[in-house]
Protein backbone atom coordinates (compact mmCIF):
# COMPACT_ATOMS: atom_id res chain seq x y z
CA UNK A 1 0.00 0.00 0.00
CA UNK A 2 1.35 3.44 -0.91
CA UNK A 3 2.09 5.70 2.04
CA UNK A 4 -0.60 8.25 1.16
CA UNK A 5 -3.31 5.61 0.92
CA UNK A 6 -2.06 3.97 4.13
CA UNK A 7 -2.26 7.20 6.12
CA UNK A 8 -5.73 7.97 4.78
CA UNK A 9 -7.24 4.55 5.47
CA UNK A 10 -5.86 3.42 8.82
CA UNK A 11 -7.63 4.29 12.10
CA UNK A 12 -4.48 5.46 13.87
CA UNK A 13 -4.07 8.34 11.40
CA UNK A 14 -7.67 9.17 10.50
CA UNK A 15 -7.75 12.29 12.70
CA UNK A 16 -4.27 13.51 11.79
CA UNK A 17 -4.31 16.71 9.73
CA UNK A 18 -3.53 16.71 6.02
CA UNK A 19 -0.44 18.83 6.69
CA UNK A 20 0.89 16.31 9.24
CA UNK A 21 0.25 13.43 6.85
CA UNK A 22 2.17 15.32 4.19
CA UNK A 23 5.08 15.84 6.61
CA UNK A 24 5.18 12.12 7.40
CA UNK A 25 5.16 11.19 3.71
CA UNK A 26 8.17 13.42 3.07
CA UNK A 27 10.45 11.51 5.45
CA UNK A 28 9.25 7.93 4.83
CA UNK A 29 11.59 5.35 3.31
CA UNK A 30 10.06 2.07 2.13
CA UNK A 31 11.59 -1.34 2.77
CA UNK A 32 10.47 -4.91 2.13
CA UNK A 33 11.24 -7.63 4.68
CA UNK A 34 11.45 -11.32 3.88
CA UNK A 35 9.64 -13.87 6.01
CA UNK A 36 11.49 -14.36 9.33
CA UNK A 37 13.76 -11.39 8.63
CA UNK A 38 14.74 -9.57 11.82
CA UNK A 39 14.13 -5.82 11.63
CA UNK A 40 15.90 -4.95 14.88
CA UNK A 41 17.04 -6.65 18.08
CA UNK A 42 16.37 -5.76 21.70
CA UNK A 43 19.04 -3.36 22.97
CA UNK A 44 20.05 -2.24 19.49
CA UNK A 45 20.46 1.52 19.01
CA UNK A 46 17.30 2.94 17.52
CA UNK A 47 17.70 5.11 14.44
CA UNK A 48 14.16 4.96 13.12
CA UNK A 49 10.48 4.61 13.96
CA UNK A 50 8.50 2.26 11.71
CA UNK A 51 5.11 2.15 10.06
CA UNK A 52 3.79 -1.22 8.88
CA UNK A 53 2.15 -1.10 5.45
CA UNK A 54 1.54 -4.82 4.83
CA UNK A 55 2.32 -8.15 6.47
CA UNK A 56 2.86 -9.12 10.09
CA UNK A 57 5.50 -7.91 12.53
CA UNK A 58 5.99 -9.64 15.88
CA UNK A 59 7.49 -7.66 18.75
CA UNK A 60 9.04 -9.89 21.40
CA UNK A 61 11.40 -9.94 24.36
CA UNK A 62 13.87 -12.68 25.24
CA UNK A 63 13.88 -13.95 28.84
CA UNK A 64 17.14 -14.73 30.69
CA UNK A 65 16.38 -18.40 29.98
CA UNK A 66 16.29 -17.70 26.25
CA UNK A 67 12.51 -17.96 25.83
CA UNK A 68 10.86 -15.53 23.43
CA UNK A 69 7.78 -13.79 24.81
CA UNK A 70 5.46 -12.06 22.34
CA UNK A 71 4.73 -8.48 23.38
CA UNK A 72 2.58 -7.45 20.43
CA UNK A 73 1.57 -8.28 16.88
CA UNK A 74 1.74 -5.09 14.82
CA UNK A 75 -1.16 -4.42 12.46
CA UNK A 76 -0.81 -2.68 9.08
CA UNK A 77 -1.23 1.03 9.65
CA UNK A 78 0.43 1.04 13.06
CA UNK A 79 3.55 2.92 14.05
CA UNK A 80 5.91 0.95 16.27
CA UNK A 81 9.23 1.49 18.08
CA UNK A 82 8.20 5.07 18.84
CA UNK A 83 9.63 4.64 22.35
CA UNK A 84 13.03 5.72 20.99
CA UNK A 85 11.63 9.18 20.38
CA UNK A 86 11.05 9.87 24.06
CA UNK A 87 12.35 7.35 26.58
CA UNK A 88 15.52 5.67 25.37
CA UNK A 89 17.78 5.42 22.36
CA UNK A 90 17.73 1.62 22.14
CA UNK A 91 14.89 -0.68 21.15
CA UNK A 92 13.31 -2.33 24.23
CA UNK A 93 12.09 -5.33 22.18
CA UNK A 94 13.04 -7.26 19.06
CA UNK A 95 11.02 -7.17 15.83
CA UNK A 96 10.71 -9.91 13.22
CA UNK A 97 8.58 -10.27 10.09
CA UNK A 98 6.34 -13.33 10.34
CA UNK A 99 5.66 -13.13 6.62
CA UNK A 100 6.80 -10.97 3.72
CA UNK A 101 6.13 -7.45 4.97
CA UNK A 102 6.40 -3.88 3.74
CA UNK A 103 7.40 -1.16 6.18
CA UNK A 104 8.17 2.54 6.07
CA UNK A 105 11.13 3.86 8.04
CA UNK A 106 10.82 7.28 9.64
CA UNK A 107 14.35 8.37 10.61
CA UNK A 108 14.58 9.41 14.26
CA UNK A 109 16.44 12.67 13.60
CA UNK A 110 13.96 13.82 10.96
CA UNK A 111 10.99 12.78 13.10
CA UNK A 112 12.31 14.91 15.97
CA UNK A 113 12.38 17.88 13.59
CA UNK A 114 8.70 17.30 12.81
CA UNK A 115 7.86 17.16 16.52
CA UNK A 116 9.30 20.63 16.97
CA UNK A 117 6.21 21.98 15.18
CA UNK A 118 3.30 22.34 17.62
CA UNK A 119 0.59 21.26 15.15
CA UNK A 120 2.44 18.07 14.22
CA UNK A 121 3.29 17.34 17.86
CA UNK A 122 -0.37 17.64 18.86
CA UNK A 123 -1.45 15.35 16.02
CA UNK A 124 1.19 12.79 16.94
CA UNK A 125 0.22 12.82 20.62
CA UNK A 126 -3.39 12.26 19.61
CA UNK A 127 -2.34 9.28 17.50
CA UNK A 128 -0.39 7.84 20.43
CA UNK A 129 -3.42 8.22 22.71
CA UNK A 130 -5.56 6.27 20.24
CA UNK A 131 -2.90 3.58 20.14
CA UNK A 132 -2.80 3.53 23.94
CA UNK A 133 -6.56 2.94 24.12
CA UNK A 134 -6.19 0.13 21.60
CA UNK A 135 -3.44 -1.51 23.68
CA UNK A 136 -5.53 -1.24 26.86
CA UNK A 137 -8.37 -3.04 25.07
CA UNK A 138 -5.93 -5.71 23.92
CA UNK A 139 -4.67 -6.25 27.47
CA UNK A 140 -8.23 -6.57 28.73
CA UNK A 141 -8.96 -9.10 25.99
CA UNK A 142 -5.92 -11.20 26.91
CA UNK A 143 -6.63 -11.10 30.63
CA UNK A 144 -10.41 -11.55 30.63
CA UNK A 145 -11.08 -13.82 27.64
CA UNK A 146 -10.53 -17.53 27.16
CA UNK A 147 -8.27 -18.85 24.39
CA UNK A 148 -11.16 -19.53 22.00
CA UNK A 149 -12.45 -15.97 22.32
CA UNK A 150 -8.95 -14.53 21.86
CA UNK A 151 -8.45 -16.67 18.75
CA UNK A 152 -11.62 -15.48 17.03
CA UNK A 153 -11.02 -11.90 18.14
CA UNK A 154 -7.60 -12.15 16.49
CA UNK A 155 -9.11 -13.44 13.22
CA UNK A 156 -11.71 -10.69 13.27
CA UNK A 157 -9.21 -7.93 13.97
CA UNK A 158 -6.46 -9.06 11.62
CA UNK A 159 -8.48 -10.37 8.69
CA UNK A 160 -12.13 -9.36 9.12
CA UNK A 161 -15.29 -11.48 8.74
CA UNK A 162 -14.79 -14.19 6.15
CA UNK A 163 -15.56 -17.85 5.68
CA UNK A 164 -12.10 -18.62 4.31
CA UNK A 165 -8.71 -17.20 5.28
CA UNK A 166 -5.17 -17.39 3.99
CA UNK A 167 -3.10 -17.66 7.20
CA UNK A 168 0.52 -16.94 6.37
CA UNK A 169 1.91 -17.11 9.91
CA UNK A 170 2.56 -20.37 11.73
CA UNK A 171 0.22 -21.84 14.33
CA UNK A 172 3.00 -21.36 16.88
CA UNK A 173 3.26 -17.65 16.09
CA UNK A 174 -0.51 -17.24 16.16
CA UNK A 175 -0.67 -18.98 19.53
CA UNK A 176 1.96 -16.57 20.86
CA UNK A 177 -0.01 -13.62 19.48
CA UNK A 178 -3.09 -14.57 21.52
CA UNK A 179 -1.15 -15.42 24.67
CA UNK A 180 -1.55 -19.21 24.47
CA UNK A 181 1.04 -21.97 24.51
CA UNK A 182 1.19 -24.17 21.38
CA UNK A 183 -0.22 -27.23 23.16
CA UNK A 184 -3.30 -25.36 24.41
CA UNK A 185 -3.85 -23.86 20.97
CA UNK A 186 -3.54 -27.26 19.28
CA UNK A 187 -6.17 -28.70 21.63
CA UNK A 188 -8.48 -25.78 20.82
CA UNK A 189 -8.10 -26.31 17.07
CA UNK A 190 -8.82 -30.03 17.46
CA UNK A 191 -11.97 -29.25 19.47
CA UNK A 192 -13.17 -26.71 16.90
CA UNK A 193 -12.54 -29.18 14.08
CA UNK A 194 -14.47 -31.94 15.87
CA UNK A 195 -17.34 -29.51 16.44
CA UNK A 196 -17.38 -28.68 12.72
CA UNK A 197 -16.51 -25.03 13.37
CA UNK A 198 -13.39 -24.90 11.23
CA UNK A 199 -10.97 -26.79 9.01
CA UNK A 200 -7.33 -25.65 8.86
CA UNK A 201 -5.25 -27.31 6.17
CA UNK A 202 -1.86 -25.84 5.26
CA UNK A 203 -2.34 -22.08 5.09
CA UNK A 204 -6.08 -22.33 4.36
CA UNK A 205 -8.55 -21.90 7.21
CA UNK A 206 -12.28 -22.33 6.56
CA UNK A 207 -15.09 -21.52 8.98
CA UNK A 208 -18.52 -23.07 8.80
CA UNK A 209 -21.13 -21.03 6.97
CA UNK A 210 -22.83 -18.44 9.16
CA UNK A 211 -20.19 -18.60 11.91
CA UNK A 212 -19.69 -14.84 12.29
CA UNK A 213 -23.42 -14.16 12.49
CA UNK A 214 -23.69 -16.65 15.34
CA UNK A 215 -20.50 -15.35 17.01
CA UNK A 216 -21.68 -11.75 17.08
CA UNK A 217 -24.98 -12.80 18.65
CA UNK A 218 -23.34 -14.80 21.44
Domain with CATH 1.10.10.10 in the chain: 146-217
Candidates 14, 1, 113, 97; CA nearest to 57 is 97
Digitized pLDDT (tens) for each residue of the chain, 218 residues in all: 688 888 887 777 777 888 888 888 999 999 999 999 999 999 999 999 999 999 999 998 888 888 777 888 888 888 899 888 887 789 999 999 999 999 999 999 998 898 888 988 888 888 888 777 766 666 665 555 789 998 998 898 888 899 999 998 889 888 888 888 889 999 999 999 999 999 999 999 999 999 999 988 77
One CATH from 1.10.533.10, 3.40.50.980, 3.90.79.10, 1.10.10.10 for 146-217? 1.10.10.10
Q: Which residues in 177-213 are b (16+ Cβ under 10 Å) and which e?
A: bbbbeeeebeebbeebeeeebbeeeeeebebeeebbe
Domain 3-142 grouped into CATH 2.60.120.10 = yes
Q: What is the pTM of this model?
A: 0.71
pLDDT reported for residue 187:
95
Amino acid sequence: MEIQSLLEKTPFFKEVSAESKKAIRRICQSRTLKKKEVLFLEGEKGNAVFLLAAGNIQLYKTTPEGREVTIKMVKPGEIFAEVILFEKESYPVSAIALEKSVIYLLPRVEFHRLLSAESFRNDFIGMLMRKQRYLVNQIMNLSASDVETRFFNFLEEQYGHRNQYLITISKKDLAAAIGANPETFSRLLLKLKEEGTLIWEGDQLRLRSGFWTEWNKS
